[in-house]
Structure 1
Amino acid sequence: MSAPQASSSSAPQQQPEDWKKQLNLPTKDTRPQTEDVTATKGNEFEDYFLKRELLMGIFEAGFERPSPIQEEAIPIALTGRDILARAKNGTGKTAAFIIPVLERVNPKIPKIQALLLVPTRELALQTSQVCKTLGKHTGAQVMVTTGGTTLRDDILRLGETVHILVGTPGRILDLAGKGIADLSQCPMFVMDEADKLLSPEFTPVIEQLLSFMPKERQVMLFSATFPLIVKDFKDKWMRKPYEINLMDELTLRGVTQYYAFLEERQKVHCLNTLFSKLQINQSIIFCNSTNRVELLAKKITELGYSCFYSHARMLQQHRNRVFHDFRNGVCRNLVCSDLLTRGIDIQAVNVVINFDFPKNAETYLHRIGRSGRYGHLGLAINLITYDDRFNLYRIEQELGTEIQPIPPVIDRSLYVAPGTEEEVKGAQEAAKAGQKVAVPAGVGGHGMQAPQVRGKDRSLPPLPLSSSSSSNPRHSSSTSSRLTRCLSSSSSLSSSTTARMRLGQARTARLSLPTSSSSTASSSSTASLSSTTSSSSRHSCSSRLRRWRRASSDERSATTRERR
């Protein structure tokens, strides 16, 4: 008797690839990418035998295939071996350690199983969000803790299940030292931006944290730069680490670098001209001090452009709000100190401006790495004064790169992806017609990539530029007066130039600056950004300043006589 035949009405067996069709995939990013992320071996995420729940989170986050650093780091990290990895900014280092951490975490064990250390609070928030996004289907519980927040909330949260702990060294050491965070069964220890974490200010804290962890642990270090101090840490705390170095060149290939040679008092005018001529999607403007950050943000706001600012002396809640709103595209321009030079990944940033030129090559490398993220195009413009000329030469030599003089016209194809303008225009027209459309990849929440127009692209008023934004009372009480003095001395324009800028006459046919103080009478007398003010202009400004001082002195004398 023949074997019974299978019923034809039985449900067909599910194919292995059917689960991919049910994923909620984001809009595909069609922007071109450089070899920094495309020079791969051709591997796929499925080749690493990751959990399906993790693969679902990876694909839904927009990842298609691993970048070079991910290809090198993920399979080694999955074996539990120590790793010392060096790769360029914006090439996928964060996912290179988060993916193996999520794979190795067991959600059924209610213990902290991975500790991720970062140097800044903003980077901690970003890293924890990436963990939650990639691991949303795995059941792993992620907690972030930083300084500037209440310890009570952290204590309550650690009373619940936490598998991955992300934070800054000081706060985590505080929690571990008080016995609140139990790291005795935490086998994975990761340091992002490891060169900063191994600086003299952090090294004692790191070593104390390691004493709370088991001896059989995996230590992974990731950064774009590794100073000599890393070797001492490696020899003392790591066991035959697998070293990855993908830094055949230091700077990103997609970032074009220019410098503009000018005087200090011309910087604001130069910045205004750049705003009006460049197709800025979002920009980050760096200053070397917190006072100058607030000063410049105030000046940009007065000129009519939307602007936020952030620095280390602000209240933590204000810093969090600025970071969140700027990341969501609420504002176009962010003025900040070196607080945001490390790890911050905002895809919509296509222009970085060094209003104050950095003092060392490491800071410069991390600053310009905020644009051109993940192999995309970016633009870095440096405002150079006479005192910065030696730093410019030294940084070029150390990084092995060339920073060129800024041309009269900057080619948009160097920092704007082809086809983006058409996509944005189509999205804007569809939005006007009431249709729901997806925002093109790499475009901020404002959905614009045209030259900025004063007063018309401010989606939200900027944070208050008053003294209340600072957490230091002594600093805050005199901030306004100091900013006023700075504005009237080193960083401000002459009164005639400021008036002309406010009338909207500063947009010239080329990227240019005034060459004399008489430019008020004739707006056509312009020069290249790389030109300096003539000696007659300086003599004219000095004579006007002397006359103003004499007039002020006469007024004070007359007032004194009247009082007597």
Structure 2
Amino acid sequence: MSAAVMAANTTSNLNTTEPKPAGDEVPSSTTNAGGMGWKSNLKIPAKDRRKRTTDVTDTKGNEFEDFCLHRNLLMGIFEMGWEKPSPIQEASIPVALSGRDVLARAKNGTGKTGAYTIPILEQIDTTKEYIQGLIVVPTRELALQTSQIALELGKHLGVKVMVTTGGTNLKEDILRLYEKVQLIVATPGRILDLMEKKVANMEKCKILCLDEADKLLSQDFKGLLDRLISHLPLTRQVLLYSATFPLTVEAFMRKHMKDPYEVNLMDELTLKGITQYYAFVQEKQKVHCLNTLFSKLQINQSIIFCNSTQRVELLAKKITELGYSCYYIHAKMAQPHRNRVFHDFRAGLCRNLVCSDLFTRGIDIQAVNVVINFDFPRMAETYLHRIGRSGRFGHMGVAINLITYEDRFDLHRIEQELGTEIRPIPKVIDKSLYVAEFHTEEDEQ
């Protein structure tokens, strides 16, 4: 089977859920006379024993059951391996369930997707066949990932989830929209196109969620969101999630949100579990330095960032020539190829991924424990999102920056802007800083 066909199959699988028989419906309260016996029948994955930082453990002690969620939704949550809500989930799920607009700021990798997907799924009426929820994200890979999470969380509910992004067949999306769709996950250009063609009817869509809102409200998508929102009812609920809040987000809030409940869990910008290093090198030494890092580090999976698509391909070729397994991904690749690379890297079929900043937004691959900036970014915001691909959900990881003489001022400026410390790389990096077997919960007790 060709990569394109396999990728297309992967994408199409994200757009369907098996309908559940009416007999599966149960009261929303999970503390009724039925007790908690239903939990014993769940297919719960093995407990993650890795140590987690306070980014995700510093909670008030709530349980998912405390939110009075539909039991079938709780089943999906627990079968995802999610044991307890993280701080951003604890702070925003109850408010979102009340119908109020939410403006939430939290670090990368602390559970934002669950924080908005859970209340959206809870509020969808599966007996109604029209679109009730819309999640908008800035990249195609993030749309695929988010729709997959929505499908898995809602698999016992029977919610019909559809993902639609640029770079895929528009005709197929139009045909799917003539069938039953209740929740759409989309990139802004494609869903706006479907709205303006009067194929995606949003007249009864009661919830809009913008994830990575700072990116959606940047110049890259200028004016798209205003046009998109004009197709939604006036009585909609708006959920807005982001790690950074530029002025564009504030302007959007004033224009389109009603007395939003604000959550800000950004006491510091970088994740506590990520140790950051730099190595001073000449440009011509970078590949040799990378080869040394590969031989010395205990890499589970790594993501390596370059500043241009051309350099992404050149570096991936060099890494392969050195004898290491390596994929690459960037925005100029054909969409089926991008889908295949993303799917296979997430599945652990390759250890190293070279990419452009396409891959900085929201991409959640738990196995990544090393991020390398082969090219150092100019913007603090870009740096923040890049290193946030490691240390997901409170786990440990390292970020290593290859710094040339020209990068030295950017390095100091980004340290100051983020209020973080990027240290010189030691000869030996302590494995307890980034290798799972060296920092289990049992070790801490």
Task: Normalising by structure 2, report the TM-score.
Answer: 0.91
Alignment of 1:28-427 (within 5 A): 28-418=47-437
Q: CA deviation at 1:276?
A: 0.3
1:148-196 C-alpha deviation (Å, 9 max, x unpaired)? 0011110111111000000100000000000000001101000000000
Structure number with higher relative contact order (C-alpha < 8 Å, ≥ 6 residues apart): 2
Q: SS where residue 418 of structure 1 aligns? A: helix
The residue identity in structure 1 corresponding to 2:273 is: G
Q: CA deviation at 1:420?
A: 7.7
Q: CA deviation at 1:14?
A: 7.5
Give yes or no for contact 2:51–2:439 (8 Å, CA) kept in 1: no
Alignment of 1:374-523 (within 5 A): 374-418=393-437
Q: SS where residue 358 of structure 2 aligns? A: helix
Aligned residues: 409
Q: SS where residue 436 of structure 2 aligns? A: coil
Q: CA deviation at 1:15?
A: 4.3
Q: SS where residue 173 of structure 2 aligns? A: helix
Report the Cα distance in structure 2 between the residues aligned to 1:72 and 1:249, rounded to whole angstroms.
17
The residue identity in structure 2 corresponding to 1:316 is: Q
The residue identity in structure 1 corresponding to 2:152 is: T
CA spacing shift, 1:420–1:396, aligned 2, 3 Å? closer
Report the Cα distance in structure 1 between the residues aligned to 2:293 and 2:113, rounded to whole angstroms.
32
Report the Cα distance in structure 1 between the residues aligned to 2:208 and 2:186, rounded to whole angstroms.
12
CA spacing shift, 1:405–1:419, aligned 2, 3 Å? closer
Report the Cα distance in structure 1 between the residues aligned to 2:210 and 2:33, rounded to whole angstroms.
41
1:216-243 C-alpha deviation (Å, 9 max, x unpaired)? 0101110111111111111111111111
CA spacing shift, 1:411–1:419, aligned 2, 3 Å? closer
Report the Cα distance in structure 1 between the residues aligned to 2:437 and 2:221, rounded to whole angstroms.
43
The residue identity in structure 2 corresponding to 1:106 is: D
The residue identity in structure 1 corresponding to 2:304 is: I
The residue identity in structure 2 corresponding to 1:175 is: L
Report the Cα distance in structure 1 between the residues aligned to 2:439 and 2:112, rounded to whole angstroms.
26
Report the Cα distance in structure 1 between the residues aligned to 2:435 and 2:402, rounded to whole angstroms.
21
Report the Cα distance in structure 2 between the residues aligned to 1:133 and 1:342, rounded to whole angstroms.
21
CA spacing shift, 1:15–1:231, aligned 2, 3 Å? closer
1:236-272 C-alpha deviation (Å, 9 max, x unpaired)? 1111111100000000000000000010000000000
1:303-322 C-alpha deviation (Å, 9 max, x unpaired)? 11000000000000110000
Report the Cα distance in structure 2 between the residues aligned to 1:211 and 1:194, rounded to whole angstroms.
18
Report the Cα distance in structure 2 between the residues aligned to 1:419 and 1:394, rounded to whole angstroms.
33
1:406-436 C-alpha deviation (Å, 9 max, x unpaired)? 0111110110123589xxxxxxxxxxxxxxx
The residue identity in structure 1 corresponding to 2:381 is: E
Give yes or no for contact 2:432–2:438 (8 Å, CA) kept in 1: no
Report the Cα distance in structure 2 between the residues aligned to 1:19 and 1:220, rounded to whole angstroms.
31
Paired position in structure 2 for 1:438: none
Give yes or no for contact 2:88–2:265 (8 Å, CA) kept in 1: yes
Q: SS where residue 239 of structure 2 aligns? A: strand
- The percentage of aligned residue pairs carrying the same residue is 69
Q: SS where residue 335 of structure 1 aligns? A: strand
Report the Cα distance in structure 2 between the residues aligned to 1:201 and 1:250, rounded to whole angstroms.
23
1:11-34 C-alpha deviation (Å, 9 max, x unpaired)? xx9741110001111011010000
Q: SS where residue 299 of structure 2 aligns? A: coil
The residue identity in structure 2 corresponding to 1:269 is: H
Report the Cα distance in structure 1 between the residues aligned to 2:33 and 2:317, rounded to whole angstroms.
61
Gaps of 5+ in 1: 1-12, 422-564
Report the Cα distance in structure 1 between the residues aligned to 2:34 and 2:243, rounded to whole angstroms.
42
The residue identity in structure 1 corresponding to 2:241 is: F
Q: SS where residue 437 of structure 2 aligns? A: coil
The residue identity in structure 1 corresponding to 2:189 is: G
Alignment of 1:538-553 (within 5 A): none
Q: CA deviation at 1:124?
A: 0.1
The residue identity in structure 2 corresponding to 1:372 is: G
Report the Cα distance in structure 2 between the residues aligned to 1:300 and 1:287, rounded to whole angstroms.
13
The residue identity in structure 1 corresponding to 2:100 is: R
The residue identity in structure 1 corresponding to 2:402 is: L
Q: CA deviation at 1:203?
A: 3.6
Report the Cα distance in structure 2 between the residues aligned to 1:164 and 1:333, rounded to whole angstroms.
33
Q: CA deviation at 1:201?
A: 2.9
**4+ residue runs over 6 A deviation:** none
Paired position in structure 1 for 2:39: 20
Report the Cα distance in structure 2 between the residues aligned to 1:413 and 1:223, rounded to whole angstroms.
30
Report the Cα distance in structure 2 between the residues aligned to 1:203 and 1:74, rounded to whole angstroms.
29
Paired position in structure 1 for 2:443: none
Report the Cα distance in structure 2 between the residues aligned to 1:236 and 1:101, rounded to whole angstroms.
22
Q: CA deviation at 1:327?
A: 0.3
